[in-house]
Structure formats: C-alpha cells, structure tokens
Structure 1
Amino acid sequence: MEIGSNTPAIVTGGASGLGEATARAIAAKGAKVAIFDLQEDKGKKVAEEIGGIFCEVNVTDEASVDAGFAKAREAHGQERILVNCAGTGNAIKTASRDKNSGEIKHFPLAAFDFIIQINLIGTFRCIAKSAAGMMSLDPLNEDGERGAIVNTASVAGEDGQVGQAAYSASKGGVIGMTLPIARDLMQEGIRVNTILPGIFNTPLMNAAPQQVKDNLAASVPFPKRLGNAEEYAHLALTMLENGYFNGEDVRLDGAIRMAPR
C-alpha cells in the first residue's frame, strides 16, 4: 500500500512508546492519524504535533471503541490502516509459595482476565471493526487491496518467562489469530501481519534501574542494546507498504531467546 497524502490511519496505544513512534512515522508519510489511547494529555500532544486527532478509547469497552472509530472516521474518513499497539502486562506466577509464611497462592483469575481483555480481545475487537469498515472501500490498486493491519504481540508469546502466563497467553493468542484473520480477509484485499518485539526501550522500561536495563541489553545477541521504538515503527511501515507481506508473525528482537527468568 502506498501511504500517501491524507491516507486515514488509526494507531491504538499511540500516545507513547511503540504506538507513538508508529503514529509519527505514518504521519510523516502524509497520513492522517487518529490516536486511540487512555492517556489524554500525552495523546492530545502527539496528535497535535503530527496533525492528527486524539480519541480517548478503552479497547476493552465496545462502546468506547465504537465511539473512537466514529470520531476518527468523521474527521479523516474510513481508515485504510490500523496498527494495534495498545497493551499491558503483569508478572504473577501460576501458583506460588510465600517465602516467609509458606502460604500457597494461585494467580488471581481477575488479573489473568484483565490482561487477556486488553491484549487479545481488545486487539481483536479493533481488528474486526476496522476490517468491516475497510470492506466498504474501493480497492486501491490492481491487486484489489483495500487496507492493511499490523498487530503487536511479543517474543513472550513464544518463549515467555516465569510469571508471564497471562501475558504470554494474550500475546500467543495474537500470534495464533494472525494467519486465520488474514485468510478471513483475503478475498476483501485486507492484509494482516503481527510484530513480536523483544526488549524495547519504552516508557515502561525507562522506569527500570539502569543496572537492570544494562543487564537486559547484555542478554541480546546482537546488537547488544534495547530496541528503539523507531525500529518497531520501521518494520510496521514495511508491513503496511509491502503489498506481498501478509499473514506473517515477525520477531524483532536482536536474535534473543528469553531465558526462564
């Protein structure tokens, strides 16, 4: 897909981190970007700087998502691009024993459901609603392409660490649904791909002590550093612009394979 002047696009989680970098990269191509996020101050600032709009959206709430799509489409028209970056994580063992008291506890199911609702169901909710809208568009080219979708999973979806059962399940679900969704939409000219980031220098990571970040960087085979959000955005652009890129799950991780802990 050629991303040209005024191409409508939506980026979930676009107020910071991977989403912000992607929103900026797409806007630099001339696209009109709507940012879906709960961080109003940051989201409005980024939207203003890139000539887009901010939509306060909670991806776990269907009415909120519907309102976001309505606002974005009223401002920019039906989107041809959707990039899903909204997500979160936690670190809780499936079952564990308190080191002091010996008390045995299991993973709170509400906490497990919370991660699934945001990372997996929230992603699918946005995909389904965006794809339905893209189907109303005329094809862009002789291939019949109408739109393109990029999702965010994680290397934890393939080699999750201790305490990542919920996070890995949610991201593994995103990986697992990529090909079936691409097949669902193949006759409509809508491509679907997923990026599996490794350890990236995001706002969440910035809060970690420098020694922790240094140790994580040293664990990456090459290059021995954390990934930059702009590198994620570069791959997202490739997936959007390369018309033969479809149904793929691609690791972006410096060749790291995560250890158990």
Structure 2
Amino acid sequence: MTDYKEEQRNEMEALQSIYPDEIEIVAEEPYHSFKLQVQPQNAEDFPDHAMSAVILFTYTENYPDAAPIMEFDSTEDMDDSQQDSLMEFIKSQAEENLGMAMIFTIISAVQERLTTMMEQAAKDQETAEERRKVAEEEAERKRFEGTRVTVESFMAWKLKFDAEMAELRRLRGLSDIANKKPTGRELFFLDSTMNDSDVKFLQSEGDTLEVDESLFENLGDLELDDDFEDVEDDPDDDDEDDD
C-alpha cells in the first residue's frame, strides 16, 4: 500500500532545498499547502513583459496518483486570457505526470512556458508598433497629397460650386433691394396718386390762384453778388447799346 503522506513529505523537503527563496509553506495539515513563485530564467531579456506567477499547490489525499489542487495566488503582466491559458497548461502537465512527484516538473515547464509567452508578447508589441507607424505614415502622405482629382470629381465639384455661387448672388441681390432707399423719381412712379397731384391742387383753388405779393416787396433790399452788379454797370455793355 502506497504511503502518500511519506511521498509528500519527501517531495516537500526536496522543494525547500531547490527553491529556498521561492517557496512559502501555508499549511501542513491535513495536507501540505504551499506557494511557489515562478519566473522565467531570461526575464531580463523582456523588461516590458516580465511575466511571473505565484502558484498555490495543495496536496490531495492520493497525491501523486491524483493531481494536486492548483490555483494562481497572483500573476504579473498577464491578462485574463493569458492566465487561463497558462492554468490549462499547468493542469495538462499534472495529468501527464500522474503517479510520480510532479511539482518540480510542473515548475520547470511553467518557466519555459512563460518565456514563450513573453517572446510572443514582445513580437505582438513590435508588430503593433510597426502597424501604427505605417498607419501614421500613410495618413501623413494622404494629408500632403490631398484628394486625387478626376474629371468626374471635378465636374461634380464645379456643379456644386456654381450652384452655391448662384444662390449667394441671388441672396445678395435680395438683400440689396431690401436695404436700398428709393429715389424721388422711384417714389413718384411707385405712388400713382402723385401723377395728378398738381392738377388736383389747382382744381381745389378754383379758377384763380391767390398769390401773397408781400413775399416779393423787399427784393430791392437783397444783397446781390458783386459779379451780378458788375454785369449791370459794365460800360462796355453801354457802348454796345449806343452802337
């Protein structure tokens, strides 16, 4: 009969010797439970994608003939999909190694897996950066080139432009007409009652029109221009008259 407890104690001693700084004992009863920090050996090669994980292992009653309970205590620089993928990988490793002490094998496989994941993340970032640069260069090129003009696109633009200009001229004409002050002549022709206003005025006065003669009594007191007086006193005019 297999003594599972003994096998588990032996493996724990080996793990503490191999990973003195990475292992943390959480419990010993009823079964050993411990955390192991896992980092890829070349993490320094990928400073922007330094993935790591702390895995919590708990032995089961029949370990190693049955897989231990495994879950992430924490992860670094991994999204949910990457965590799920890595856990599926860990479980597959446990299934492949049933019947023997497997923790060291699982940790070694996870280290290699993390390296592969970091390499892929670095490639994905590089590809995304290249695509971004290409997109920016293309956008910059199009900005300088502008829109390519064809005969069809030019004619469509011209029709639209001509229509807009015609509408603008029409609106300006309406505005000028609305704001223009009519002249006396225009008022005369616009108001038909002014055509016979003088006739109506005379008819209203009868056959005779009275004039206020007092308005013309003081014409002699008016100061006439010197030029006008010179014309009246010009002796040449008198000579001509004598002749």
Answer 1 or 2: which has greater strand percent: 1
Higher relative contact order (CA 8 A, sep 6+): 1
Answer 1 or 2: which has greater helix percent: 2
Bigger CA radius of gyration? 2
TM-score (norm 1): 0.23
TM-score (norm 2): 0.24
